[in-house]
Amino acid sequence: MKILVLGLGNPILTDDGVGIYIARELQKRSLPKEVVVEESSLSGFYLMDLLLGYDKAIIIDSVKTKGGKVGEIYSFKPEVFDRSVHLTSVHQTNLPTAMKFGKQMGLKVPKEIIIFAVEIADNQTFSEECTPLVQKAIPRAVRLVEEELLSMARG
């Protein structure tokens, strides 16, 4: 079994880089041998390319919700986006659409994907550091991802 942990974001846009920073912390850990940790700033069909060949995946990203508490960590499956984000061009698509397309094309896409998202404050300011509350959430997010990885590796 191959498991991908994929940290997403832009590491020069303050909190937007939190997924990448969490992935970098995980790379320092002793993880099961079937786990590969990567980072990327890609999305849509490009993201699907990174997921090909893996049985399971964990995606780590930032999120900015209406009324969300900065530093809160959410965990969900990509199907949450099925009815909320629509394809607007061939260059922009959501994760569930990209995965369905890959499956229909006969490609090996992960059977299970879990997304961890950290509620952020600022994704507009140029900085290579997260805001304090988001920075404080990183160790907890690392622990949550590690726990999910152990669960995935067992079964």
CATH number at residue 125: 3.40.50.1450
Q: What is the pLDDT of residue 60?
A: 96
User: pTM, whole model, 2 decimals?
Assistant: 0.88
Overall number of domains in the chain: 1
Write out the residue range of the structural domain in which residue 39 sits. 3-154
Residue 101, C-beta contacts closer than 8 angstroms, at least 6 positions apart: 45, 48, 93
Q: What is the pLDDT of residue 22?
A: 98
**Which helix (H) or strand (E) is 61 found in, with range?**
strand 56-63
DSSP string, 63-127: E--TTPPTT-EEEE-GGGGTTT----BTTB--HHHHHHHHHHTT----SEEEEEEEE-S-SSS-B
Q: How far apart are the first and last CA of the chain?
A: 10
Mean of pLDDT values over 127-140 = 97
With cut-offs at 50, 70 and 90, classify the pLDDT of residue 93: low
Q: What is the pLDDT of residue 31?
A: 92
Mean of pLDDT values over 56-64 = 94
Mean of pLDDT values over 36-52 = 88
